[in-house]
Structure 1
Amino acid sequence: MKAVIAFLLVLCHLGATRAWSCQEAPRLYYTRQIEASQGKVLARTSSNRVYFLSGKSWYRLGSVSLKDVSVGPAGIWGVDSSNRVHKFIAGEFLPSTGALLQQVDAGGNGQVVGLTPTNYTYCLRSTYAAPYKGVGSLSWSSMGRVMKDYSCGPRFGCWGVDQSNRVYVSQVSPTTCGSSSWTLVTGFTMSMIDVSTDGSVFGVTTNGLVYQRTGISSHRPQGTSWVSVPMCMAVSSLSYDLGQLWVLTNSGLLLQCSH
């Protein structure tokens, strides 16, 4: 395993560009998901254990196994193998009752959004998400849209990838969960999308290439163009926060990249 990782790192070094410099992140074997927001970095492994990064070391976060986890202004949320939604409270992930979801995103302006097992989008208002202490049922609002990946930011709205890998963006109210019409973002078919707290948007194409959306503003939330972020190998997922792009390759290598 060490020899394989060393070889992959050599490839990454040879493929480095002036725009982005990548190095191996603190090693966590069998990583399947990476999440970063507001200075926090979380990872989920193939055994559905969640870890957080402190310095150069990974530490187990709670004792609950989760198949998806998200961190953002709304806190740390996740879903287990039974699609029950959990919130991280006082050192542990506590389950909630209400909607059953397969994916959650806590990156919006206090609201939490998620996808049901049939890929319908749901939203939890910020007024419900913030005070939730692990007791009582959560009231989720249907957003009436089918997506297979979804990510929100507190500044310029929510982005999603539909069943045909097309990218859309919409403005979502954190207090009402009402949304504007969905705007198609042309250019590439994506497998996933990530929106950071500062409004930056990165996507992974269906063949594992990484692109950043530029020209995003309050007047043009869909931005203007996609700019390539060259990587040394195909990518499965990523997350961006505070100038750091955390990248998980198809081979399981976790990279930390910066300008």
Structure 2
Amino acid sequence: MKGIAAFLLVLCYLAISDAAWTCTEAPRLYNVQQVDAGQGKVVVRDSNYYTYFLGGYSWYKLSTTRLRHVSVGPAGLWGTGTDNRVYKYVAGQFLPSSGVSMLQVDAGGDDQVVGVTPTSYAYCLRSASALAYSGVGTLSWSYLSRRLRYFSCSPQNGCWGVDTSYRVYYSVKPSNCGHSGWRVLNGRLKMVEVGTDGRVFGVNTAGQVFERAGISSRIPYGTSWVTVPMCMSIRHVSYDLRKLWVVTNSGLVMHCKS
């Protein structure tokens, strides 16, 4: 089964190379479920809930801590455990915190961490708390007045989220975990990620990938969604430093350039 998936992946990125994006297979790691890229670093989580870091042409297991979601960015390396506790990577290990339970976190904002709870409420952790946390004490999260199933922020282009009905929302980036309201956008996605430079990508329930077009200083939330061609169904995406990282439904990883 793994061999078939790898063969299909080769055909896939060869086909995509004729389009606007050129995709190649990342160093091979099977059964990947989620990827996150930020500040030149790439991390993934596999089907056994273990996390890996990409170093050169190899994946290195980060810890034996089992995580549901992992994120790397200006605020550091964070994750949510299978116990729904929030973890921060400190001195070579993931250390748990006390406080609000989370299903998904994002460390890509302006030194802040945002996340969503098992009951789909959106929260933000202030930069001072996020940067200083060393594995001791309780984290104090601020509620952001929105129910979301997925949440991602960028220093350059605000925060983007998807609610339980797959509607997409945009909000100006939190300043000390405050925000200026939410704008609902066109389209339906199951997850959305905004890169450090402000480019935004998402995946719908059919496994199709989209980029938000028309983003400008005047319209920071853009105007429409443009399809990013993929010949395999995609589970998850992340974007950093002009590279789009995608995880296929078969559990393999590609990186793409436009």
Shift of 1:15: 4.1
Alpha-carbon shift at residue 65 of structure 1 (Å)? 1.2
Matches within 5 A, 1:112-131: 112-131=113-132
Mark the CA change 1:224 to 1:47 in structure 2 (over 3 Å): closer, same or farther.
Answer: same
1:26-41 aligned at under 5 Å gives the runs 26-41=27-42
Residue deviations 1:22-50 (CA, integer Å, cap 9, x gap)? 11111111101111111000010111110
Q: Secondary structure at the match of 2:174?
A: coil
* CA shift for structure 1 position 249: 1.1
* Structure 2 match to 1:181: 181
Specify the code of the residue in structure 2 equivalent to 1:35. D
- Which consecutive residues of structure 2, in runs of 5 or more, have no partner in the other structure? none
> How much does 1:206 deviate?
1.9
8 A Cα contact 2:121 2:148, kept in partner? yes
The residue number in structure 1 matching 2:218 is 219
Residue 154 (structure 1) shift: 0.8
Q: 1:147 to 1:122 in 2, by over 3 A?
A: same
Match of 2:87 in 1: 86
Which amino acid letter does the alignment assign opposite residue 70 of structure 2?
V
- Which letter does structure 2 place at the counterpart of 1:220? I
- Indicate the larger mover: 46-55 or 219-228: 219-228
Counterparts of 1:158-169 in structure 2, within 5 Å, are: 158-169=159-170
Count of matched residue pairs: 257
Give the corresponding residue for 1:245. Answer: 244
* 3-state SS in 2 of match to 1:255: strand
Query: Which amino acid in structure 1 is aligned with residue 135 of structure 2?
Result: G
**RMSD of aligned residue pairs (Cα, Å):** 1.3
Q: CA deviation at 1:220?
A: 1.6
Quote the Cα distance in structure 2 between the aligned partners of 1:98 and 1:7. 43
Structure-2 residue corresponding to 1:10: 11
Q: Give per-residue Cα distances to partners, 1:182-218, cap 9 Å, x unaligned.
A: 11111x2101101110111001122111111122234
Q: Which residues of 2 match residues 9-88 of structure 1 at below 5 A?
A: 9-88=10-89
Shift of 1:92: 0.7
Distance in 2, matches of 1:142 and 1:101, equals 12
2:144 alignment partner AA: M
Deviations 1:135-176 (A, max 9, x none): 11111111121111111111121000111111110013242x
Shift of 1:72: 0.7
Retained in 1: the 8 A contact 2:6–2:252?
yes
Q: Secondary structure at the match of 1:67?
A: strand
The aligned counterpart of 2:190 is 191
Counterpart residue number, 1:203? 202
1-side partners of 2:226 and 2:5: how far apart? 30
Point out where structure 1 has 5 or more consecutive residues left out of the alignment.
none
Q: Distance in 1 between matches of 2:76 and 2:175?
A: 14
Identity %: 53
Please tell me whether the aligned partners of residues 104 and 114 of structure 1 are also in contact (alpha carbons under 8 angstroms).
yes
Offset of residue 18 of structure 1: 3.5
Determine the structure 2 residue equivalent to 1:105: 106
For the residues of structure 2 that align with 1:4 and 1:241, how far apart are their CA atoms?
25
Range moving further from structure 2, 106-115 or 58-67: 58-67
The answer on whether the counterparts of 1:17 and 1:230 sit within 8 Å (CA) in structure 2 is no
Q: 1 CA distance for matches of 2:8 and 2:157?
A: 40
Counterpart code for 1:42: V
Alpha-carbon offset, residue 14 of structure 1:
2.7
| Corresponding residue number in structure 1 for 2:254 | 255
User: Is 1:156–1:218's contact at 8 Å kept on the other side of the alignment?
Assistant: no
Deviations 1:84-131 (A, max 9, x none): 111111111111111111111111101111111100011101111111
Change (3 A) 1:7 1:128: closer
